[in-house]
Each structure stands twice: as C-alpha cells, then as structure tokens.
Structure 1
C-alpha cells in the first residue's frame, strides 16, 4: 500500500532554499591570512554551534565565540572580530527555482513550512532575502529549543503545519536530517540540487 499524497511541504533553508557562495569566506580568509576553511571549521564545531541552534545563546554570542577562537590565528582580537564580522555580512542567496516550487505549492493548496536549524537571526535573514510571507509557518530550532534530526523537532513542525506526519513531505540536503524525518513518520527527499525539482513537483502533485 502506497503512502498518502503529501498535503504539506517542509523545506530546509540552508543548502536547499538558501545557497552560500564559498568564495566569500575564502576571500575573507585570504585577506586576513587565515588557513582555508578555518572560519567554517570553527563556527561549526558542535559544542559551539549546538547552543545557538537551540536558543541557549544568541547569534551575537555565537559570533563573538568564533572571533575569540580565531584570535590567536590573526594576532589580535580586533582583527579576529573584523574578519568574522566581514564574513557574517554575507547572508547567502535564494535559489529562485526552489522558491518557485514553494510558491506554486502554496497556490495549489499545499501548506508550506520552512524547517531549519537556525539562530535568532533567522527572521532578519528572511527579511533581508525578501522571503517574509513566503511560508505558512517557520519552524526555527532556536525558537522551539530542539533541532533536527530529533523526533520532537518534526513533531513540532507537523503541529505547526496542522498536518499529520504521513501527509508531510520534508526536503533537506543532509542525510541525517532525512533519516530523522523518516523516523518521525514523514516522507523525505534527500535534496541534491536542481535535478530533484521534477521529482519534487511530481511528489506534491499540485
């Protein structure tokens, strides 16, 4: 017996709807004499990242901790802070094809949620990228206090969408998030890029 047709879509932000140009971070690293990839390496250390994704610390506190960790590499706290601030000014770019799917799905009667592990800067990012009002719900890990791939995260997302898990299609570019969604009873698509657009539209069948 096949699964029920999806009546709601939960789409990840970073890596699906928002893309990051790696040349930006690389340019900052070159300008400040940093080793390649060190900004992301420090920022994404789980012990540093987890608290900001669950709302225990603010985005500003997280950025400050990245600068603190970078201080020795650049020789002074002022230079470290300047490098991190310059890196953080870039807020990514919207994938217009994915946004078209979101808009078409909503026009076709499908509820759409943004499901993301994010910081308290998310609302500002959505405004800066022109995405305010593009979703029926926004499920931000830092606001609900739990992050993907926890079952509780997906339960909260389904409640926000007012849709049972079996009727929600989740799209994410990370295998661990997809596995978590499936374990919580959602359908899930591992996003690999534009080649998945046709499948996504067919799966929604709006």
Structure 2
C-alpha cells in the first residue's frame, strides 16, 4: 500500500515566482502611473494658483480704485525692473496706509504724511500673502513673487500712455519683461507680449488691467 503522505506530496502543484521581466514590467507600470498622478496634481495646483493670483489682483485693483477716490488718481510710483522691489514696496505702503500720495507746491510726492495728516488703509496686510509674516514689505503672488504695478512715473508722468493702471504676476517662473509695460503702450495683439514676438519667459505671466 502506498504511503498517503507520499500521495499528498506528489499531488502538489508547482507555482513558480515572478520572473525578472515580470517584476520590471510591474515596476514600469507603477512608475508611469505615479508620473501621471504627479502631473495631474501639478496641473490642479497650477490652475488653483492661477485662480488665486487673479482673485488677489482683483482685490488689489479694488483697493486702487478706492485710493483714486480719496487722492484723485492711482499711485504714482518709480521705475520698475526685474531686480528691484522698490515699486512693490511703495505700492504696499500706500495701500496699507503707512505712506500717502500728496501734492507739495505743485509736485506729486509719496512719503510719510505731512503735518500728522491722517492715513487710510485700503487693503489689509492679512488679506493677501506678504513676503514676511513679521515684517511685511510687499504683497506676493502664490509663487512667492511680488505683484508688479504699472502706472504714471513720478519723474515723467506724461509718458504713461494707458488710461488706467496695470497689475502683473510673473507666474511660476518669476521672470518678466518690464519694458513692455513700463510706459503703458500696450499692443492689442497678445502675441506681442506673451507669444513668439515677446520673451518666452513672459508666457506664464498673468496681467490684470487690460484686455487683448
């Protein structure tokens, strides 16, 4: 008579493990799927950041309109360029009420209020993210870059050609071409600013204040 234990052993089915090729295929699929998920997440974050930037620029624009109602015009600031934050700092000071714009002997000035003149805050420091929580100096977009403001220049106000102000976020890459907006001579063709005719670094910029 055959031993029952031998019969049980012989009836077991042999199940080989995964081959190296099968493991590599599975790993490749996982990597591809992970890449798709990351790309989707980045796309969602980018759209959310764009929407937030547009909303914040609208809030700044509303504050600028209130500023104009009080002082008769939008803030006149100095030149803006890619390296300096002087322009965003002055805009921050004027909208939060730490400085004012006033006329002194026929000259428009920006600075501390003369003769203890009262100031008005048109936009709170907590309403839009700033460069610092403890000592803020300018408003920043969702990518941490200062919002840029373009309007009349204190030294040559008559050179400004656009009827209102222009606000800009430099977008995710933080780069922009200031010269295209510095005098308000806006071309109605978007390609002249965002496209091949412009600088490729401007492609992701968000501009508020004019429509193409």
What is the TM-score with the length of structure 1 in the denominator?
A: 0.31
Larger radius of gyration: 2
**Greater share of helix residues, 1 or 2?**
1
